[in-house]
Amino acid sequence: MNQWKNFSKGFLKENPILVLVLGTCPTLATTSSAINGIGMGLATTFVLFSSNAAIASVARIIPDKVRIPAYIIIIATFVTIVDLLMKAYTGDLYDKLGIFIPLIVVNCIVLGRAEAFANKNSVGASAIDGLGMGLGFTMALGVLGGLRELLGAFSLLDYKFVDRDGILLFILAPGAFITLGYLIALVNKINKK
Amino acid sequence: MEYITIIIAAVFVNNVVLSQFLGICPFLGVSNKISTALGMIGAVTFVIVLATLVTYMIQTFLLKPLDIEYMRTITYILVIAALVQMVEIILKKVSPPLFAALGIFLPLITTNCAVLGVTLLVVVKDYNMVQSMVYALFTSIGFGLALLIFAGIREQMEMSNIPKAMQGTPIALVTAGILAMAFMGFAGLV
């Protein structure tokens, strides 16, 4: 397969959030601002990239029957690495994302890519697939976080446009559901044309 | 009194789906029909309560004394995966129709973030054993409540006329948003 196509499919055509609707929990929970969303996205990208590469390299040795538990352990290892790294270097963001960092283990996208792509493709292709999917995920999280921050606080990346309180609803839980709903509807509309 | 606070907070105020965003996948996936939703709730409740008990033991008697708490994520997910496998085997024997109806969502309980989420949250909240069990049970009940209300609304929605781009996931998410708004009304209780 063309490597560029392999990389870029994660952004629009097979975007994990906006088209496949996988991994909705961290998407909704961590996008109260653009920075949080992007931070979460990058952490997930690292896990996706490394676990895809690792799984592709050992997929042939793992017996078929125990492959899912084996994949989960590989993924959990990388999640622990991210968890410890973020705890050491990004204290503030780490506190905000809270339990959603260890919860990357159960993000359907990571296991989904392992099962759908990494176990039957080469190490290089799987790494590119992981990177593309991860960045597509990050992009969607950034857009959603940006929109919510814009509507909820009238600011973007902590830069305040209007010196007024925003529509608080969009920062709170209901805003997450509603904004993502309309965003997916928009993508549906564009993809159908 | 302390337990009543935990119960009300777990079911209503900090509802696991609508305000903590855990377990959204099954929430959107199996809430098309009330009967499937009930089966899912049963399986999830069982796994959450049992997983919390087992992981609590592991945390107190293994990880903490040995000072290897960074192994938490890996051990917890293994325990949960094993429990789900067990539930699958039991259900296959006891109720084949329910097993068939739950289909793919049964193995997916492993990747249901509500399960791992609750087991991690009781560590963060520093609950003792009884508190953890109460919290786990009533979080599952909160999950069930949200799922049932949502399944009821979606059964009604099948008959309504929805714009093409909004059909499926988008309308479900917007509905969930409105439901979350309703649950915010409980915020003053605790």
pLDDT tens digit string along A75-101? 999 999 998 898 888 878 888 888 888
- At residue B109 the predicted structure's pLDDT band, cuts being 50, 70 and 90, is confident
Which of left, alpha, beta for A156 (phi over 0: left; psi -120 to 50: alpha)? beta
Q: Please indicate whether, in this complex, the C-beta atoms of A103 and B23 are within 8 angstroms of each other.
A: no
Chain A nearest-CA distance from B181, in A, is 5
Between these two residues, A76 and B95, which has the higher pLDDT value? A76
Contact A114, A127 (CB under 8 A): no
Give the closest of B120, B166, B180 to A99, CB-based: B120
The 3-state DSSP composition of chain A as helix, strand, coil percent (nearest 5) reads 75, 0, 25
Nearest to A31 by CA among A175, A186, A136, A181: A175
Q: Would you list the domain boundaries of chain A?
A: 3-188
Q: What's the confidence (pLDDT) of residue B6?
A: 84
CA distance B28 to A68: 23
Q: pTM for this one?
A: 0.84
Chain A nearest-CA distance from B165, in A, is 5
- At residue B102 the predicted structure's pLDDT band, cuts being 50, 70 and 90, is low
Contact A21, B28 (CB under 8 A): yes
Residue of B nearest to A17 (CA): B169
Question: pLDDT under 70 in chain A at which residues?
Answer: 1, 193
ipTM: 0.82
Q: What's the confidence (pLDDT) of residue A1?
A: 57
